[in-house]
Amino acid sequence: MYCVHCGGAAGTGDHGPCSGARAALEPPRFCAECARRMVVQVTPTGWSALCSRHGALTSGPAAALTD
């Protein structure tokens, strides 16, 4: 598995900036399965991120967190 924010191996390195509350609100930029850079589109309700190999991810209900 890879870090979806920096594309590095999830088990190694410093992912502090990748795992904070702020990062949780940002769309993923790299595929967790292959670390390809994904095509990210921000939508009015959240985001969608497309891996050319693994297909699309979309923000789920968790992204509806507001105050």
DSSP state for residue 28 in the 8-state scheme: P
Q: Which is nearer to Zn ion, 1 or 44 (CB)?
A: 1
CA 38 to mean position of chain CA atoms: 9
The distance of closest approach from Cβ of residue 67 to Zn ion in the complex, given in angstroms and rounded to an integer, is: 27
Closest Cα to residue 15, out of 29, 4, 28?
A: 4
In the complex, minimum distance from the CB of residue 55 to Zn ion, in angstroms, rounded to a whole number:
8
Selected from 2, 3, 30, 57, the binder of Zn ion by CB under 5 A is: 3
Binding site residues, Zn ion, CB under 5 A: 3, 5-6, 15, 18, 31, 33-34, 36, 51, 53-54
